[in-house]
Amino acid sequence: MSNKDKPVTNRREFVQKLVGGAAAASVASATAVLAGAETVPESQSSRQKQYGMLIDTRRCIGCHTCSVSCKSEFDVPLGVTRSWVEYTEKGSYPNVSRNFLPRLCNHCSQPQCVDVCPTGATYKREQDGIVVVDSGQCIGCKYCILACPYDARFLNPVTGFAEKCDFCIHRVSKGLDPSCVNSCIGGARIFGDINDPDSEISRQIALNPTTVLRPGKGTEPNVYYIGADHSDQHENETGGYDVRVITHRKEKERR
């Protein structure tokens, strides 16, 4: 009979065999885990997150709850906005229509505001693609405000720093939706990782025709719209009907 097959005759031998068996089991388990990790598709393990928003204008009723909740969340001063809603009135009597177009920073994949910032205060986060402003480095030069083709930035009259929507990073980092998404009474907004094909926002973008603002600018916006009317006042001259865009912002004209 070999030593391996001998019955345990004392406490010391029992403990030694018990520890040896546990160690072997641990090694086997670790090997299985590593082997399983190797089978994870590379596309999933290396995929970079890009947060975005989908706004279904068919559900928007123009109540401005999103704008109010945004102001409350960040104590935004009067006269400036991180998020706002435009009214588009179009047609000739009696064939007229009114549509709502919620607006905010588009957190572009190719943000022009980042390119022009002389101090690096504006940058795109690697972990989630959100474009943010570091107030500690901002000098209030307004370069980013002029570079943004969506009028999404402003100079805070209290702090003197550039400011805009940041998708409520403080909420998102805790697994919560941005304040505007959470408060929308029509359920018109969906927030999530656009690069995740299993996310709700990706599924809805795949199922519905969508548009973005000013695609010709080449910024690759990450805010998408369903059923949006992007009409502008310049169509008054070429469209044969009246178009009026109404905004409650201090800047009344679209750039």
Domain 51-246 has CATH 3.30.70.20: yes
Of the candidate ranges 58-72, 88-102, 137-151, 164-178, the one whose mean pLDDT is the lowest? 88-102
Cα 12 from Cα 92, distance rounded (Å): 97
Q: What is the pLDDT of residues 58-103, one digit of tens each?
A: 999 999 999 999 999 999 999 999 999 999 999 888 889 999 999 9
Conformational region of residue 143, where left means phi above 0, alpha means psi within -120 to 50, and beta covers everything else: alpha
| Phi and psi at residue 66, to the nearest 5° | -60, -45
- Per-residue pLDDT reduced to its tens digit, 1-52: 444 444 444 444 544 554 455 444 444 444 444 444 444 444 455 679 999 9
pLDDT for the residue numbered 236: 73
pLDDT for position 214:
95
Is residue 76 classed as helix, strand or coil in its secondary structure?
Answer: coil
Tens digit of each residue's pLDDT (9 = 90 or more) over 117-134:
999 999 999 999 999 999
Q: What is the pLDDT of residue 232?
A: 83
**Which whole number is the average pLDDT over 160-182?**
97
Domain edges within the chain: 1-39, 51-246
Q: Which residue has the higher pLDDT, 17 or 154?
A: 154
Total-model pTM? 0.79
* 244-251 contacts at long range (C-beta below 8 A, 24 or more positions apart): 244/88, 244/89, 244/90, 245/86, 245/87, 245/88, 245/89, 246/86, 246/87, 246/88, 246/89, 247/84, 247/86, 247/87, 248/64, 248/67, 248/84, 248/85, 249/81, 249/84, 250/79, 250/80, 251/151
- CA-based torsion, 152, 158, 161, 166: positive or negative: negative
- Predicted confidence at residue 74, as pLDDT, reads 97
